[in-house]
Homo-oligomer: A and B are copies of this chain.
Amino acid sequence: MSPLKPGPRPERGDATREALLGAAVTVFARDGFDAARTRTIAAAAGVNQALIGYHFGNKAGLYRAVFEHLAAAIETHLQPARATLAAELGQGTPGRPGRARCLALLGEVTDAFVGLMTSAESAPWARLIIREQQAPTAAFDVLYARVMAPFAQDLEALVTRLAPARDTLEVRLAVLSLIGQVLVFRTARAAVERFTGWRALGEDEVAVVRAHLRDNLRRLFAPAGRRA
């Protein structure tokens, strides 16, 4: 490579970092920051415990890195949905979508969100985020700015089209109501399962939830003066 001193080192520790991040997401989500043991994380990653200090400084550094990792992961996860919306709602587009189309789009976004909140894969992510909401640290700012705010703004744009009469605050509260209706299936999962009698949220149950929420959407954004 470059014969000179500042040559880019081949970063051969990348695999180790990835393994540690992957294991850390799981363990931090399961046990929380304090209960999570660096030895447990290292073992799950199949890596020496001292490497946490080497690569991330310390346990807190690893935690921070996990959230940056997370933000990036969710960003790419929601990218397709955001792209569709941008294409249809973007300023450059000719024919603006009508009410029916907006409702359909909102339904699709909701479906995707439900999928994210119920999927087993995302359970660790969600747990970490919920934990962080209870006592926001600097990690939360990254997450809000990169993931939550853009998502909420997408919803806001759609709801504004569907309920043009409402002012900004009313629209945002409507967005939060929508988010709440989905979020409950993650934040209150234990109670949800007991109350519905479901033993788990598999594909069938998720389909029922989606249908129910679409129904809610129709009612919540029914045009004034007409049937719900």
Partner-B contacts on A (CB < 8 A)? 30-35, 127, 130-136, 140, 144, 148-149, 152, 169-170, 172-177, 179-185, 187-192, 194-196, 208-209, 212-213, 216, 219-220, 222, 224-228
Known contacts A35-B32, A149-B194, A169-B208; A184/B179 CB under 8 A: yes
A173, chain B: closest CB distance, angstroms:
4
B133→A190 contact, CB < 8 A: yes
Q: How far is the CB of A50 from chain B (nearest CB, A)?
A: 23
The answer to whether B213 touches A177 (Cβ under 8 A) is yes
Q: Which residue of the partner chain B has the closest CB to A135?
A: B30
A152 to B196, CA, bound (A): 11
Q: For A131, list chain B residues within 8 Å (CB).
A: 131, 134
Q: Chain A binding site: helix, strand, loop or mixed by DSSP?
A: helix
Whether B134 and A208, one on each chain, are in contact in the complex, defined by CB atoms closer than 8 angstroms, is no
Given A130-B134, A148-B195, A176-B196, 16 more pairs with CB closer than 8 A: A33-B35, A131-B134, A132-B190, A133-B190, A169-B196, A176-B188, A176-B192, A177-B184, A180-B183, A180-B185, A181-B181, A187-B187, A219-B219, A224-B227, A225-B227, A226-B227
Report whether A184 and B190 are in contact in the complex, using a CB–CB cutoff of 8 Å.
no
Complex partner residue of A172 from B133, B170, B196, CB under 8 angstroms: B196
| A212 / chain B contacts, CB cutoff of 8 Å | 170, 173-174, 177
Least distance between A170 CB and chain B CB atoms (Å): 7
Are the C-beta atoms of B32 and A173 separated by less than 8 Å? no
Alpha-carbon distance A149/B148, docked complex (angstroms): 31
Q: Report the minimal beta-carbon distance from A91 to chain B, rounded to whole angstroms.
A: 22
A110: shortest Cβ distance to chain B, in Å?
Answer: 12
Query: Could you jot down 16 A-B contacts, CB within 8 Å?
Result: A32-B32, A133-B188, A148-B191, A149-B194, A152-B195, A169-B208, A172-B195, A176-B196, A177-B181, A179-B188, A181-B181, A183-B183, A183-B187, A184-B184, A219-B228, A227-B227
